[in-house]
Chains A and B, each alone.
Chain A
């Protein structure tokens, strides 16, 4: 076995904090992911900050309605979808893809295949998001929820995803042993999921739109499969990789994970059509049944997580803010947000909470509480190995956790409670409509504080990643300079550096965020 991989075996112990795993040398596997991951993550970190800033601009409307009355770019109806799309397409998907590439390379015990392809694709992706977000702000949104990007942006995203998928599948194909780890299933399915739903939605809604309410059915199907199923596949795939790794004990158990996988993709993909939608009863009935059945994988995820982390130091609720905590908190947020989604699908409950802030609360919990937290935990954990040196500010990891956790509880929690308060009034025709909005207003205003916490946390996250990128660029520049001065440098200026150089030269200045 490659001696450099010995490093990894230490890495598996939860008791060793990430900051102490700093080493000047990364394994070739990790190093092969370096450039693509940096491009994906630094862009993602930027979009996280931008998305949260846009969210903040959107929620300010509820503090002072005429704040942006003369500025069409920042009117609520444009900023709000732009913020959501910046978070989902800008942060969630590229971060998920980056982590996926690394997990595939690690599990295959092989270097990333075609490392140049994801670098090109990541730039293409982030450019597509930029096109899309700007178009939404300029009023060129398509008007479909989660599919607001106009054709140009969508086409770029689709092409970029396919390119990254090619590299991911090629890496997957290089694995030495046939046996698959559970994360493999989830991540592979996610690779199929996105191109299918994205192309279907774009073809049927934007390119050659179908007539009338069939649009509603397709839009709901797309939104659920993206926000619930895709994020769950990638987020759980990541969590099932890092949980046992950081806990230092195996995943409990293989068959339960298999069970989660099957039930999630079979039932989760049918959710999303509510009883109020102007669609024939069979669609909402099928969706409600699917939602009830989705209880099973959600329950199983909770069991797997609980059994895997039980008995491990800091395995319980107690935590210090290290990546292990991120993953645990994220998985718990997934269980909660999935339960909220299932509650929304129940006709009796949806009579109360339908059309209220409860829906946005669930989405925010899914995107920020579950996915963003799992991804930032994973990135904090894997980035030091990939870069070959530690995070520049390891303390910020803990600080970020202590900003994220209360922020998300406050933000999603107050939206959810506000939604229920609003729904109680909305369902009673004797109360004036204005009372229902007023009921939610106070909670929205309180929740803004939570959003500020999350925004601060995301700034810390971006700081770590950008400083790291800068440091790496500086080192690269120095080594290039050294190589230029002394062409016959010692062989210990490791192979990975040479590879980086090759990639960086091939791509020019592509690593800019």
Chain B
């Protein structure tokens, strides 16, 4: 490289800056090309090819698809168990056997295994107090309302979980069912045991 080969207008004498016209070093062009190549490899691996549904750290749509949690009954059961253990388990026991003097059992309870789910749903939504017979024993109940803190999907999942676990054989409940019941009786004050029997199953 010749540092002294000045540009054509080197005849300037007015002090304006000039440039040297030697060629660009080849290595910097090679570096650019190499970075371009590596960059396209990186982009190919990490971009999810312009999908609006692929976010880092996922790298492709297939991967996002692979890691979707299971849907349907299995997922609802898992969700229901989590809600149950978190909200209900403390009193009713993780095994659904209840706690003497505190909360009646849910496993095998006639109120849980009823044909319809309206009574059970209302207990969860609005709470329950008073004397109630469960599996042949008298319970003096004072259960708080759970409706405000749980979404329809949470309630449906936990209702389904209660009605299908521990050898209970009642059917599943959907979020739409809960939504309808909530719309009808949500925000109702705590129901008494006597009122419970007047609610259709």
Contact = CB atoms under 8 A, between A and B. Distances in A.
B19 A257 contact: yes
Nearest to B17: A244
A256 B32 CA distance: 13
B6 interface: yes
Given A244-B18, A254-B7, A300-B28, A281 B59 contact: yes
Given A280-B48, A282-B47, A293 B15 contact: no
B39 A181 contact: no
B43 to A, nearest CB: 5
Contact of A292 (B7, B38, B49): B38
Interface string A229-264: 000000000001111110000111111111100010
A181 B23 CA distance: 16
A1 B48 CA distance: 63
Contact of A250 (B7, B8, B14, B42): B7
A296 interface: yes
Interface string B14-47: 1111111111110011011001101110110011
B50 interface: yes
A492 B46 CA distance: 71
A505 interface: no
A406 interface: no
A38 B154 CA distance: 69
Contact of B54 (A9, A109, A281): A281
A245 B17 contact: yes
Contacts of A10: 15
B14 A254 contact: no
A278 B17 CA distance: 47
Contacts, number: 133
A280 B52 contact: yes
Interface stretch (A126-134, A137-145, A283-291, A434-442): A283-291
A177 B185 CA distance: 86
B15 to A, nearest CB: 4
B16 to A, nearest CB: 6
B166 interface: no
Contact of B35 (A256, A281, A292): A292
B27 to A, nearest CB: 10
A109 B29 CA distance: 34
A8 B14 contact: yes
Given A259-B24, A285-B47, A251 B18 contact: yes
Nearest to A255: B24
Given A8-B14, A282-B49, A284-B56, A250 B6 contact: yes
A280 B51 contact: yes
A286 B21 contact: no
Given A255-B21, A292-B38, A292-B39, A281 B16 contact: no
A326 B19 CA distance: 21
A279 B55 CA distance: 7
Interface in B50-97: 50-56, 58-59
Given A179-B9, A282-B48, A296-B35, A289 B19 contact: no
B22 A280 contact: no
Given A106-B16, A280-B55, A255 B32 contact: no
A106 B16 CA distance: 8
A183 B19 CA distance: 11
B13 interface: yes
B28 A296 contact: yes
Given A251-B18, A253-B20, A285 B53 contact: no
Contacts of B167: none
Contacts of B25: 256
B17 A253 contact: no
A289 B39 contact: yes
Contacts of B3: 252
B36 to A, nearest CB: 7
A282 B44 CA distance: 9
Contacts of A242: 17
A254 B18 CA distance: 9
A278 B53 CA distance: 11
A262 to B, nearest CB: 10
A299 B25 CA distance: 12
A250 B47 contact: no
Contacts of A125: none
A405 interface: no
A257 B54 CA distance: 39
Interface string B107-129: 00000000000000000000000
A251 B17 contact: yes
A295 B24 CA distance: 16
- Name which of A177, A256, A285, A296 has the most chain B CB atoms within 10 A of its CB: A285
Given A243-B17, A254-B7, 5 more contacts: A8-B14, A254-B20, A255-B21, A257-B19, A279-B55
12 contacts: A1-B14, A12-B15, A109-B14, A179-B8, A181-B17, A252-B19, A254-B21, A281-B46, A282-B43, A286-B43, A289-B40, A347-B56
Pick the 3 closest A-B CB pairs, nearest first: A12-B15, A289-B39, A244-B17
